[in-house]
Chain A
């Protein structure tokens, strides 16, 4: 079986101690393999965002372990974690988080430049990443001259630039209309179909439906999962399909 890109083993995350302690995650185990998009659904306060933060090394687990491409995050220093986020994990947020004074290309190239790559090489990688999301021609455009959907596709390109294969998305279609939002999910889906691994947090069933698996979280516990799809069975006959 293919090795997981992301693996959570019996992860707990508790904020505070004693009677006021909040158990955001309680024994969550999860794997995301190359080519897989996994969605996490659950009501507000169920631990979705905490799950994403510990999975991406933005927050520390209280117990259990997070492994990215087989490497446990608990053994990494702060510097190593920062390098991990620059090189191997990409984040897509609801409000895009693009830097307005940088062009699309510069935004996408930024994590590579921060990692010490020359601007010329970084731009080369950025151009490739923008091509993957269908925006190569907008490489020199500033975010304020782009639509919301285009900005979010730039954010996905930034999340996957270089050889990063793990993308985490927190309600990435939040501010977009349904048609544009669907375009963003389609890009995310295509990236995963090409070998990336994706973890998508959403409260919308319509968006979660783009994932291979949906994990349901409630009160910090995984209460159910859809399992992976079989071959698409004959859902609808007729119309020549």
Chain B
């Protein structure tokens, strides 16, 4: 799921070739999620079938096809940023991918993404705590090993959720620290473009050569806009 959405998020920036998508995806997620070429093209074919991407021109002289996002695809990406990752259903790596891309994608309010996730994860943690309280009461009364094992599974999930919230706190404080640092001049390493984060927690746009624009100030109003 996150591979598909991650690729859509990348295409929301600019049209890309399959190989380019692959290297961007791997580069921006710190290599934690390697993709094979086949997976990229299979995913692109499915996205094209579902009307989320289209080929933006004829194949070039090397036979490479560049893909661009449709309005439907763009809507899908927007919905992804706005919707919390459902912890009950998906592998937790999706959140890591999502944050890594949010931090490096122009126009995404990272703080809002973080808060949306924090709320959802604490809600999940609360539900788990309630389940645990009920189960441990039962365990005390019945003393069954099976209940204890189940309780340990619940506690594992509680620890995982708690850890996730701590990491989200860390992400937020890192963004705040980065925003407080003196603004650096344009990044000139075009081979490895990285976005910097402005004071609003929203990313700066990138120019066509892939380098970060040295904007003078983009302290937009969404500093307070963690909750949309």
**Interface of A toward B, CB cutoff 8 Å:** 41, 43, 186, 189, 205-206, 208-212, 214, 216, 218-219, 221, 223-227, 229, 232-233, 235-236, 238-241
Contact = CB atoms under 8 A, between A and B. Distances in A.
Interface of B: 88, 115-116, 118-119, 121-123, 125-131, 133-135, 146-147, 149-150, 153-154, 157-158, 161-162, 165-166, 169, 172-173, 224, 226-227
Given A233-B127, A235-B127, A235-B131, A225 B147 contact: no
Contacts of A211: 126
Contacts of B121: 205
Please list the 5 inter-chain residue pairs (A to B) with the smallest Cβ-Cβ separation, ordered nearest first: A239-B150, A205-B165, A209-B129, A209-B125, A226-B123
A238 B165 CA distance: 27
A223 B227 contact: yes
Contacts of A216: 115, 118-119
15 contacts: A41-B122, A205-B162, A205-B166, A208-B126, A209-B126, A210-B126, A214-B119, A214-B126, A224-B115, A224-B119, A224-B226, A226-B119, A229-B130, A235-B88, A236-B150
A224 B133 CA distance: 25
B130 A223 contact: no
Contacts of A239: 146-147, 149-150, 153
Contacts, number: 84
Interface-central residue, A43, A209, A224, A232, by most chain B CB under 10 Å? A209
B125 A218 contact: no
A164 to B, nearest CB: 24
A223 B115 contact: yes
A206 B125 contact: yes
Nearest to A227: B123
B82 to A, nearest CB: 13
Interface-central residue, A224, A229, A232, by most chain B CB under 10 Å? A224
B162 A186 contact: no
Contact of A189 (B127, B133, B161, B227): B133
B149 to A, nearest CB: 7
Contacts of B125: 205-206, 208-209
Contacts of A241: 135, 150
Contacts of A206: 125, 129, 158, 162
B119 A225 contact: yes
